[in-house]
Structure 1
Amino acid sequence: MKLSRLLPYIFAVTLVSCLKEKTTVAENTTETEKDTVLRIAQLDIKLNKVSNAYKNAKGNSIEHFYKKLWPKNDLSGGFLVAKNGQILYENYGGFANRTAKEEITSQTPIHIASVSKVLTAAVVLKLIDRDKLDVDAKVNSLLPEFPYEDITVRMLLNHRSGLPNYAYFCDDRAIWDRKVLTNQDVLNLFAEHKFNLYFKPDKKFGYCNTNYAMLALIIEKVTHMNYRDAMKKILFEPLGMKNTYVFDYDKDRSTASLSYKGNNVLYGFDFLDNVYGDKNIYSTPRDLLKFDLATYSKKFLNPKLLKEVFQGYSYEHKGTKNYGLGIRMHEWESGEKLFYHNGWWHGNTSSYVTLKKDTVAIIALSNKFSYKPYKVWKLSPLFGHYPIKPEKDEDLLE
């Protein structure tokens, strides 16, 4: 066999073996444990076990919040709150497939929409941590077809590239004929049309799904694997995220959890449903908790790089909102910081909140369109001094 054909396998074995030295899932992990759903061996995650009194007190408060947010218990998805990796409260409801009456449980993968960006960023950062990739490398040094000279990997991660949104220019039938779009198609369209940037690279923040579609291609280029396999081998398998996968348009449409409008009408798939990196990861609250817990380990990412993840890069405008490397944040004058990412794709809405100072994760996933998952961050004052002000529903979109 030629060396070129062996390269993907050599890289995968080398990288995954390195990861498994540090992120082996302990044999005594059980998915049914209510207090602790994850014990990752050799990650040196030193978080205290919460007392029963703490769990009961906080659990009661969270349950009160849940019943106020979902008064009819009409959650169609999953909701979980954990402290130190130990679940304080969780609830699941609704159907993954209403026609088949397939109920959503703790093991049902749901489309997490733009929370996928957090996981895409994590794999990019792992490649950076392993010296397989430079965070300030120019994108066109990795993807030669990419026509923009000054855009770097960091600018894709923190949404400062100025790239136009592929969903907008591909909606023009003169540019794209509405056949199923791929990440490579997006890159090819850039090479062909050289669309104008929205702004000069690194001038300001501009949230754009295209950034993460390009990062997925970079992952493929560096690892010599397709994005689905790279995510599985580098992140999902080492962390025991057994119910997490990247949607395959050709294979998974008949089995994946479906999404619904607010009136329960089915949201069909469309020509944008084969682009990944920015979306298209299906997961569960418990699996996302596993990921969150891993981020407290110095062996998951080195502390210097982790510090770059959780810092703001866009201060052109006053206010508390900012964006790190694959994570949104609020930074208050008091010094408090709250990190999160929301998502919205078709009828799926999602929210991942991580309170690093208080080692708390708040996760809500819904496959029926609702603003309610975006409101779970309002639980934050239960765990720390977060000066949260009420916001309108439309202000909480991703």
Structure 2
Amino acid sequence: MRISRYIPILSLFLFLSCNDKNGKNGNNPNDTVLLAEKYEVSFPKLNSKYTSDNKTFVENFYNKHYNPKDFSGGLLVAKNGQIIYENYSGYAYKEKDDKITAEKPIHIASVSKMLTAVCVLKLVDEGKIALDKSVQTYLSTFPHAETSVRMLLNHRSGLRNYAYFTDDKGVWNKKQTLTNQDVLDILATKPIGLESKPGTRFGYCNTNYALLALIIEKVSGKKYAKVMNEMIFEPLGMKNTFVFDDLKKKDEVSQSYKNNYLRLAFEFLDQVYGDKNIYSTPRDLLKFETATYSDAFLSKKMKAEMFKGYSYERKGTRNYGLGVRMLEFETGQTYFFHNGWWHGNTSSLVTLRKENVTIISLSNKYTHKTYQTKKLAAHFGDYPFKFKNEGNGAD
């Protein structure tokens, strides 16, 4: 495949705004913007007044809630694929005086699940994976015949988290690096058991996405990192995004820190991917999120499967689609997002589908500030959040 024909032109329009100053909602219906030649997305351009007013609002929000002198990471807010505001501060690798910039990849933690899910759904579009087939169809040694691919994607598999069952006596020697294949082998050979019967309830579990990465490898005959490059990163021009799958290269990537800049060591779980271990930037993630509006990138059928809830056994607003969290309000509004937390890395990607607004926050120095994205969402849409006494929202 020649990559050159898929080079995106998103960068040509990210900072553009039209000169119509009369638009009340920021839109000029006569203008469109494109993501890429292959993945065209038609969005109105933002007028200068809308951009200026909202840039000021978000900048004030950033200065109030993030404290640039202390925050290590990036915040980006966009509408219609066009950046309204972005800011970067702190260090990717403090000991090397390597500062975070718009081009510096940092660990996006569980936001990686969104990208893994889209890769799986694209393979479903290609007829290589079937959502309701047993996981055993693709991973023959997997021990639970009733567990489907869809159950891995929406966390209804009932599986235990590999980060926990590797703590069980006799299961794993923590002096050895754990791999995705090891996770499968443990499930196949050890009496790990289930948290619940497959398909009966939601249970967020990193094991699901470690197995999905193996399924991607099985049906493609290629490593997960290569498939992600070929199907997502390269076609979308995500030049600063990659899968970290080799602990021998741990000194070559951005580090993670406690909130006092004490560097956190890599450990035996840090080579498992699919659930985590994608490094990226807010700008690259904007390209990915914008592409999800394109029917050429992901079919309408797969988007419908992705952005709907699957868990209604308990009352409440919280739900999960295929690789995306959501809050379903009685007002009819649905808030789509995914948060992440791994070591000192925290992340949040918000995709307001009704308003075409994207909010991305990444940090590599432990903080709950990353999850302030929810407060920004309430500015751009009618989301009835109650912020008092809320949790940190981490995964």
- Structure 1 pair 270–173 and aligned structure 2 pair: CA distance change class (3 A): farther
Structure 1: distance between partners of 2:196 and 2:67 = 44
1:68 aligns with 2:64: yes
Residue 33 of structure 1 and its aligned partner are, at CA, apart by 5.4
1:127 equivalent in structure 2? 123
- The residue number in structure 1 matching 2:150 is 154
Corresponding position of 1:389: 386
Partner deviation per Cα, 1:201-233 (whole Å, 9 max, x = no partner): 000000000000000000000100011111111
Q: In the aligned structure 1, how far is the partner of 2:179 from the partner of 2:13?
A: 38
Is the 2:34–2:40 contact (alpha carbons within 8 Å) kept by the matching residues of 1? no
Q: Does 1:228 align with 2:225?
A: yes
Aligned length: 379
Pair 1:318 & 2:299 matched: no
Q: Tell me what 2:89 maps to.
A: 93
Residues 343, 38 of structure 1: CA spacing in aligned structure 2 closer, same or farther, 3 A cutoff? farther
Give identity over the alignment, percent.
Answer: 52
Question: One-letter code of the match for 1:34?
Answer: F
CA–CA separation in structure 2 for the residues paired with 1:350 and 1:302 = 27
Q: Secondary structure at the match of 1:131?
A: coil
- Residue 391 to residue 277, structure 1, CA distance change in 2 (3 Å): farther
Q: In structure 1, how many angstroms separate the alpha carbons of the residues matched to 2:389 and 2:37?
A: 43
Q: How far does the alpha carbon of each residue in 1:275-299 deviate from its partner, in whole angstroms, 9 at most, with x for none?
A: 0000000000000000011011111
Q: Cα 1:38–1:63, aligned 2, differ >3 Å: closer, same or farther? A: farther
Q: In structure 2, which of residues 156, 163, 166 is the aligned counterpart of residue 167 of structure 1?
A: 163
In the alignment, the residues of structure 2 paired with residue 180 and residue 388 of structure 1 have an alpha-carbon distance, to the nearest angstrom, of 42
Query: How far 1:24 moved relative to its partner?
Result: 2.0
Distance of 2:342 and 2:59 partners within structure 1: 27
Q: Which range moves more in the overlay, 383-392 or 59-68?
A: 383-392
SS at match of 2:133: coil
What is the match of residue 377 of structure 2?
Answer: 380
Could you report, residue by residue, the CA deviation over 1:354-382 in whole angstroms, capped at 9, with x for unpaired residues? 00000000000000000011111211122
Shift of 1:73: 3.5
C-alpha RMSD over aligned residues: 1.8
Cα distance, 1:304 vs structure 2 = 1.6
Alpha-carbon contact 1:30-1:38 (below 8 Å) kept:
no
**Mapping for residues 79-90 of structure 1, pairs under 5 Å:** 79-90=75-86
Shift of 1:175: 1.1
- The answer to whether the Cα contact below 8 Å between 2:14 and 2:82 also exists between their aligned partners in 1 is no
Structure 1 consecutive aligned stretches of length 4 or more whose deviation exceeds 3 Å: 28-39, 391-395
The CA deviation string for residues 42-87 of structure 1, in whole angstroms up to 9 with x for no partner, is 4231100000100011111111111111235422011000000100
The 8 Å contact of residues 84 and 359 in structure 1, kept in 2 or not, is answered as yes
* CA distance in 2 between partners of 1:104 and 1:24 (Å): 28
2:6 to 3, 17, 24: 24
Structure 1, unmatched stretches of 5+, are 1-12
Q: Does 1:115 align with 2:111?
A: yes
Of 254, 266, 271, 1:269 maps to 266
Quote the Cα distance in structure 1 between the aligned partners of 2:354 and 2:310. Answer: 20
1:147/1:194 contact within 8 Å kept: no
Provide the C-alpha distance between the structure 2 equivalents of 1:285 and 1:159, rounded to a whole number of angstroms. 26
Q: What is the distance in 2 between the residues matched to 1:73 and 1:360?
A: 27
Structure 1 window deviating more from structure 2 (385-394 vs 181-190): it is: 385-394
**Mapping of residues 1-398 of structure 1, within 5 Å:** 24-26=6-8, 28=9, 30=11, 34-35=15-16, 39-178=35-174, 179-392=176-389, 394-398=391-395
Distance 2:390 2:249 in 1: 32
CA shift, 1:172, in A, is: 2.8
- In 1, are the aligned partners of 2:318 and 2:328 still within 8 Å (CA)? yes
Match for 2:156: what amino acid? Answer: R
Find the aligned partners of 2:208 and 2:388 in 1 and give their Cα distance: 27
Query: CA 1:130 to 1:60, structure 2 compared with 1: closer, same or farther past 3 Å?
Result: same
- 1:72-128 alpha-carbon deviations (Å, 9 max, x no partner): 542201100000010000000000111111010000000000000000001000000
Residue of structure 1 equivalent to 2:28: none
Give the TM-score, by structure 1 length.
0.92
**Aligned-pair distance for 1:38?**
7.4
Query: What SS does the aligned partner of 1:286 have?
Result: helix
